[in-house]
Structure 1
Amino acid sequence: MPDKQGKNKALIIGAGTGGLLAAAALSPYFKTVQVVEKDSLPLSPAVRKGVGQAAHLHSLLLGGLQILERFLPGIADDLRRAGSKTLRAGLDQQIHEYGVWLPERDLGFEILAQSRYLLEHVIRDRVARLANVVIDDQWRIEQLILSTGKTVVGAVGGRDSNDTEELLADLVVDCSGRAGKFVRQLSNFFPDMDRVDEIQSNIVYASAFVDKPPALAGQRENILIIAEPGASAGGALIDIEGNRWCVSLHGRNGVVPPTDPEAWKSFARSLPADRIYQRLTQAEYIHPVSVYKKPLSIWRRFDLMTDFPGGYFPLGDVITSVNPTFGQGMTLGFGHAVALFEAFAAGGSDEIIQKHYLKAAADWSQKAWRVCAAYDSSFKGDELSRQKNFQILRSLSLKKQNEAIADPEVHKRLFRQAQMINQ
């Protein structure tokens, strides 16, 4: 490939929520920000092929909403107008963990609940209005362009594999997802690219949109029932637009939720508490069930590499993809966008900006990884090891829960931590 450089342009691969927010974060620093997406992007909110988990439950943590507001002021109001539901933290949220429901208490915060595809649609609409951002769909990137100095200077792609072109840029932000297509390409030149921390999640979750009964039309809630070793099933229910719930049931270590709607509903009875099952028995209609498997949580340790390709900025699931139980994924990607913005705000040489970003992105990843690693460890190993890990984690969790029950300020602090607020 030729050793060329773009002119004050950022190229972002992937128009998911992370890629879109990366575009907003970079727009103050580049004359042009081009976002390319292999899918055809729908004109209205809809599931799309390139987002394998789009039909599953996604939590927009309050920390994530705060980041969205930072880059796209007023987007919370846009979401409400589009149909997002407002939930009162501590009252409309119901969390069951290790045999205990957290107390119903007004924590003074509001969260927004909606489908994954409605959220992406509203973000995309706002980002598309930025004067220097261009979003091109149905554009498949085949490979990155690497200069003789081992700097990424663009990508090769097109709408037709027989008619490709070079998209040159000053930097490339890789938001292509956890599979790491371009990481694999770069690993041919940078051996440390395959340095990965892994945790076995062994989780299978099955989700469906559910029409609410008229009697519950005005009731808004988010129920989270966390799986426990020995009862390896959990689930979550959340109100979304269109008078529906999005419900996700999951199993671990060989426990697999069924896809037949009636059998899926019955599976909800195996959860450590029956509140989700009780809601499903009142459902007007259960839409087709979608299944997603996540055997591993991964963290690619780009921050530890001594030889890293210049001009390349991985983001979101390309860096860290964690167990979805705690709903951290989208907010983690937004945190990486904050790291990107702040690295360019701090300035310096291209190398300094990149190092600043990779370190700050790793700090965000570490916060999510700690939660994921602690929880997933209780399901690892033989039965004796699992029970030992489970008892340790259960003891710590019950201590926190008892403190939260007794002290509203502790409850509020735990909520802020879970919602990744003010990281």
Structure 2
Amino acid sequence: MKKICFYFQIHQPFRLKRYRFFNIGKDHYYYDDYSNESILQQIADKSFLPANRMFLDLVNLYKGRFKIAFSISGVALDQLEIYAPEVIDGLMELSKTGNVEFLAETYAHSLSCLGDPIEFQRQVKQHAEKIKLLFDQKPTVFRNTELIYSDEISELVYKMGYKKMITEGAKQVLGWKSPNYVYHSVTQPNMKLLLRNSGLTENITFRFSDYTWHDYPLTAEKFISWIAATPPEEEIINLFMNYETFGNLQPSYTGIFEFMKALPRFAFENNIEFATPSEILDEYKPVGPISVPDPISWSDEERDLSAWLGNTLQRSAFNTLCGISERVRLCEDRRLKQDWLYLQTSDHFYYMSTKHFSKGEPYTRFSPYPSPYDAFNNYMNVLSDFIARVKAQYPDTVQNEELGSLLTIIRNQEKKIKKLEAELKSIREANVEKFVKKEKEEVE
């Protein structure tokens, strides 16, 4: 029996305000609150809220037969809590149905897996704790930022306790193989992998409203017929896409919501069911390994990292960011730690991409900057101020080992002070009791 596995990504970055060179050392708040709030609320109204209602109705209508999964970055959750908490309320309702799964990823939607394994592990743990707190689920399936994957990354993820992961069914990796099976990592056989069927997915996300597409218009009946026509032995169809497909990337007037509402009915009529990533990975055995020596992603035709680290500007900014990581981890300043997370978001590096700038698409559609060079200059000004704040607490003249030793001493002193304060409080309370008792005796 064929099964459709839907997974939806929800992510929005904390966009940076215009930060000039002259702001360095004077202004330590980096974010464009107006843009962040207005963009998120607009997307919530057009996409997230109506999509939440639609999927809740579908889950209830089909009494548990319809199932989906979400991967929501920590930075998106932070913004939703501030600007659109009703979206989180809707996701909580979906979680309570028992038919919606939440996946693990990096909290900051970062590229830390490529340059900072320790930070990568910390963010995955932090994200899992956030998902547990909000949706009362412990994620068991890992989905990396932009579906970035390699053999080395699979090892890192496996060491964190995950044995299930999803990534892109890239042609340069699969060759003649189909993405419609469960595979496993070539270096870690116990790591099961689900691969995105990019062709079928992008028929919805990119081509649904394209009048020039030879298969336009796309109807639910036609889409399900394509799935039904795949070879019988190919039982798993993984449709991984941005949640903004519904209402934002594909506006409501295109009929995208009606398409989605009709899809389960035609699927069930063709004996096609729905399942979450963990259900599929629990039920099916891998048919073989896939080898990915160089990282892949779900972006562009190349399915590589060039959208984020493809030019000198991007690599310079990323290396500078990674260079300060050890000192940031030593600090306890809550504001620094928060800024550290938000500055790691992959979007900042995507805005510096020169791949599509001459064409204007998709760069100008998503970037708040007039050019990749403006994005680089703005980000580096912010990063310069951030690094200065870190070094003000932990100067270059002090080595990391010395800092670690000093912090240990400081923390031990803090514990000792707290212990002495508790003892002093206990003595004071005892003295008060003795005084009150003596007063009572004198009165009597």
TM superposition score normalised by structure 2: 0.25
Between Structure 1 and Structure 2, whose CA radius of gyration is higher? 2
TM superposition score normalised by structure 1: 0.26
